[in-house]
Amino acid sequence: MLQVNHIRENKQEFINALKKRNFEAESILDEVLQLDDKRRATQAKLDDILAESNRLSKQIGMMFKNGEHQKANLIKEKTGNLKEDSKALSEELATTVANLESLLYTIPNVPHQSVPAGNSEEDNEEVFREGDVPVLAEGSLPHWELAKKYDIIDFELGNKVTGAGFPVYKGKGARLQRALITYFLDKAIDAGYTEYQLPLMVNEASGLGTGQLPDKEGQMYHITADDLYMIPTAEVPMTNMYRDRLLTDKDFPIACTGFTPCFRREAGSYGAHVRGLNRLHQFDKVELVRIEKPQDSYAALDNMVEHIKDILTDLKLPYRILRLCGGDLGFTAALTYDFEVFSTAQDRWLEISSVSNFETFQANRLKLRYKNKEGKKELAHTLNGSALALPRVLAGILENYQTEEGIKIPDVLVPYTGFRLID
């Protein structure tokens, strides 16, 4: 959520920056400032009335003490009127604050200056590429056919038990999945991240804190009886561990990691681009979250990018990194890098990770602050990234490592799987 004082100080700059998102911000920012002016004026009136009421109450006390009962009773009537006025103003203030907050929730984050303008994923900017695309033998299969051939993932059984988008991993498929989770966590721990096991459900305040609510409400599974939401990513509970926190210099840097299943109602339409593991309602992911001082957050973002590059180099998967354009940038992000693995069998790039800096956007919602060296309270910066989302990594391994003998296991994973071949 944008800060009103920053909007007031940088209104035209924000209007111009938000145009990168194709978001016309002028009228809504004007409305924000008008509501804030009303909030300030109402608060000032309320403060004056409360101060006057307090002054008169002290005066009444002195009059009773001095035996001036008639005068005291006359002033008492005035305090009663002030009390009614203060009640009306308090209600007006609460309504204005609620309307202001609701309006701020509809405004996306301001893109970083390096974000390219653009309308869709076609306008994203490739900034890095590594790895050679393997040449597969004739008749090579996409991962959903390989899963059936080697009996390692059962999509039909998942559909029977739950529905489409809930696959069942079995045998060496389940072991490979577990190996990837453990390997990703070990890499994160070696890089200085603290591992957490997290709740798979969150309350509304947590969804609001990281920006999933109200923006993505229809994409989350909502348990209405308890008013809880199934997490779309570990980012939500992990970042909310620091909601309403006041940090100090010694708390930084904060680097967290955790594995969770993730749940998303809107998994896409039908077609080859969403077949198999390409898009699911439930999938596993290892997440990274960092909380940094503003001056350190972009160096931390670069560090997260290098961390994921290192994993993909270890796995020997061909990949590229895209800097997302304004039109493809997530609602809460100031800057996002997407990692994509090339699927040789599908002849297309598959997104496997997004790494983002949210700057103060989430921290303002979370009331996540720190005391700087001068003792002044400032909003921290929050960052997160997938390291990594498993379905498409698994799809990339199955497709790019397929041979006539079977599916080879990347060397780095063999100590985790205990086998070298799926046959």
Tokens (6 digits) for 290: 């960092």
137 within 8 A of 129, measured Cβ to Cβ? no
Where does the pLDDT of residue 65 fall: very low under 50, low under 70, confident under 90, or very high at 90 and above? confident
Q: Does residue 251 fall inside a structural domain?
A: yes
Range with the lowest mean pLDDT among 20-34, 65-79, 158-172, 284-298?
Answer: 65-79
239 lies in the same domain as 281: yes
333 lies in the same domain as 280: yes
Is the preceding peptide bond at 214 cis, omega within 30 degrees of 0?
yes
The closest of 252, 362, 358, 388 to 298, measured between CA atoms, is 358
Top pLDDT among 399 and 76 is at: 399
Range with the lowest mean pLDDT among 9-13, 213-217, 400-404?
Answer: 213-217
pLDDT at 41 over 90: yes
* Domain end call among 104, 132, 158: 104
Where does the pLDDT of residue 77 fall: very low under 50, low under 70, confident under 90, or very high at 90 and above? confident
Domain of residue 227, residue span = 121-422
In this prediction, residue 272 carries a pLDDT of 52
Tokens (6 digits) for 422: 């799926």
Q: Does residue 112 fall inside a structural domain?
A: no
Instruction: Map residue 375 onto helix, strand or coil.
Output: coil
189 lies in the same domain as 88: no
Q: Does residue 114 fall inside a structural domain?
A: no
Q: How many domains does the chain have?
A: 2
Top pLDDT among 70 and 241 is at: 241
The tens digit of pLDDT for each residue in 231-283 reads: 999 999 999 999 999 999 899 999 999 999 999 997 554 455 678 999 899 99
Q: Does residue 140 fall inside a structural domain?
A: yes
- Angstrom CA distances, 43 to 2, 91, 207, stand at 21, 11, 29
In this prediction, residue 383 carries a pLDDT of 98
Euclidean distance between CA atoms 145 and 151, whole angstroms = 10
CATH number (domain holding residue 207): 3.30.930.10
Average pLDDT over residues 126-141: 92
Q: Does residue 113 fall inside a structural domain?
A: no
pLDDT at 403 over 80: yes
In this prediction, residue 69 carries a pLDDT of 73
In this prediction, residue 81 carries a pLDDT of 83
* Domain end call among 53, 77, 104: 104
203 lies in the same domain as 89: no
126 lies in the same domain as 72: no
* Domain end call among 35, 69, 104: 104
Q: Does residue 116 fall inside a structural domain?
A: no
- Centre a 10 Å sphere on the Cβ of residue 272 and count the other Cβ atoms it contains: 11
Q: Does residue 406 fall inside a structural domain?
A: yes
Q: Does residue 109 fall inside a structural domain?
A: no
In this prediction, residue 53 carries a pLDDT of 86
248 lies in the same domain as 374: yes
Work out the angle between the directed axes of helices 26-65 and 11-18 (0-180°, nearest 10). 140
341 lies in the same domain as 230: yes
According to DSSP, the residues that pair with 55 across neighbouring strands are: none
291 lies in the same domain as 221: yes
Return mean pLDDT, the chain. Answer: 94
Euclidean distance between CA atoms 53 and 76, whole angstroms = 10
The tens digit of pLDDT for each residue in 306-351 reads: 999 999 999 999 999 999 999 999 999 999 999 999 998 899 999 9
The closest of 349, 108, 370, 388 to 252, measured between CA atoms, is 370
Secondary structure percentages of the chain, helix, strand, coil, to 5: 45, 20, 30
Tokens (6 digits) for 419: 């086998």
CATH number (domain holding residue 62): 1.10.287.40
191 lies in the same domain as 73: no
Type of residue at 11? K
170 lies in the same domain as 312: yes
Range with the lowest mean pLDDT among 24-33, 76-85, 93-102, 110-119?
Answer: 76-85
Euclidean distance between CA atoms 198 and 342, whole angstroms = 31
Euclidean distance between CA atoms 128 and 106, whole angstroms = 33
43 lies in the same domain as 184: no
134 lies in the same domain as 235: yes
In this prediction, residue 193 carries a pLDDT of 98
